[in-house]
Structure 1
Amino acid sequence: MDKRNLLWVIGLLATLLVTGCTTTPQGSTTGVDSKRMFEYALVFDGFTPDEMLEMENRVMAFSGYRSHRPVYQGYRRSELWYQSDEPAPDVHRQLAAALTDMGIANLVRLDSEQILVSKITKRTPKPAPVVPSGEGW
């Protein structure tokens, strides 16, 4: 093997080592990050801190989950930066299913790279005033 071929092989091996690529028996190259990674801003409106804590735990269990980081957290509004291998419609579907499983009425909207999640609260009707019997007009 001459010097030029040896340098080419060393360069190829270094590239494969750095990128984490391997060659399959069929000869095609696959990398560690062979799937495309997507980044989203998950914005939650109307959720308490306890609900957000549970939601963060559920987000980590989603298929395709890579990482997440809280960006903003107020009392009723939170925002997470979320990385996933899954496209937006799949993340949307997983969010809606997780919220339904938690028993939270919700509205999940997809807007480009932002997924807006709103908690729907239902007002309970006020009970009718109780009038003691025998003392009515």
Structure 2
Amino acid sequence: MHRIFKALTLTLTLFMVNPLVAADKPNILVMAEDASEGTVARSSRVTSSVVSALQNQMHDMGFNIYDESVITLNNFSQARKQRSDAELFDIARSVKRPPIDIVIVFRLYASKLQLEQSTKITARINGRMLNVLSGKFLGEFNLDSGKPWNAPEHCSRECLAETLNDKASILANDLCAVLAEKLAWMSNDNHSNSDAMLTDYYLLFDGFSAADMLEIEEYLVIFSGYGSLRPTEQRYTRSELLYRSSSSTAKLNRNLKKMLEELNMRAIVGFEGNAFNIKRITFRAKNPHAADSNAW
């Protein structure tokens, strides 16, 4: 009965803090991939215009948008070209201040057709959204210019860049409207957990017995944002769980500490990325048979 009362108390406590974090928005990084054949170079002002358009519109939609050049200035080369998806994803995961939740990686393609009377230009953008912590695929997007754009008959390289720059920004704005709606829907706490933007967390409990884990799992499933729970490793005093939740790392960290307090279990909780390490603090058992102070 006492355990049930504690569980109910913790549940009420967790739901009371929901309004404080329900408005949390993911931290987003927009990155251009120019390693694929035919893509416009990252250094091109056309690519810069697309990045700026995506950042600006998502900022207006209320998302936390960070500029890659600024947050990677001290730790990564700014002159790199032809960066692959793997390199971009590694950069996004390596950024800790601030931690990035979602990366939008896009490729910009452009081509021209020289005619006697004019120059025809076409462009398209495709890419994908990924959850940085888990690598989970969140969506793909493709948008093309449709009808070719007209440029002057003898259009120099500068002329082509200027024409493409204006039109590519239009593509980026149209694309961002779709992405922002999708992200707003996934970030909304009002729909069911099956529809929420779930993150895969790995919870490693070190020094906890099987009986301890049964008590702990009773609490994990009542945390707000809970999606699913799956053991990935089970040993006598070591257990690892794959925990899917729409909660932020900060919120899950608070809930884990509150749970340990309610269960009267002393432990150190540390996390990096999407991995939590909960290491139990043990104390030497008190000797039930104290020595007689009058004896030698």
Normalised by the length of structure 2, the TM-score is 0.33
State the shift of 1:98 in Å: 0.4
State the shift of 1:124 in Å: 4.1
How far apart are the structure 1 equivalents of 2:197 and 2:268?
27
How far apart are the structure 2 equivalents of 1:47 and 1:40?
19
- 5+ long unaligned stretches in structure 1: 1-27
State the shift of 1:37 in Å: 1.5
Task: Confirm whether residue 54 of structure 1 aligns to residue 191 of structure 2.
Answer: no
Quote the residue 2:260 is aligned against.
99
Quote the residue 2:204 is aligned against.
43
CA 1:50–1:125 in 2, change beyond 3 Å: closer, same or farther?
Answer: closer
Identity %: 31
What letter matches 2:291 in structure 1?
P
User: Relative contact order (C-alpha < 8 Å, sep 6+): which is higher?
Assistant: 1
How far apart are the structure 2 equivalents of 1:61 and 1:92?
15
Q: 1:90 is matched with which residue: 242, 247, 251? A: 251
Quote the residue 2:239 is aligned against.
78
Write 1 or 2 for the structure with the bigger share of helix: 2
State the shift of 1:131 in Å: 5.1
- CA deviations on 1:60-97 (whole Å, 9 max, x unpaired) are 00010000101111000000000001011111110110
Aligned residues: 107
Task: Confirm whether residue 108 of structure 1 aligns to residue 269 of structure 2.
Answer: yes
What letter matches 1:71 in structure 2?
T
Quote the residue 2:283 is aligned against.
122
What letter matches 1:72 in structure 2?
E
Provide the aligned C-alpha RMSD in A: 2.4
Higher mean C-alpha deviation, range 33-42 or range 100-109: 33-42
- 5+ long unaligned stretches in structure 2: 1-180
How far apart are the structure 2 equivalents of 1:53 and 1:80?
12
Quote the residue 2:226 is aligned against.
65
How far apart are the structure 2 equivalents of 1:106 and 1:113?
19
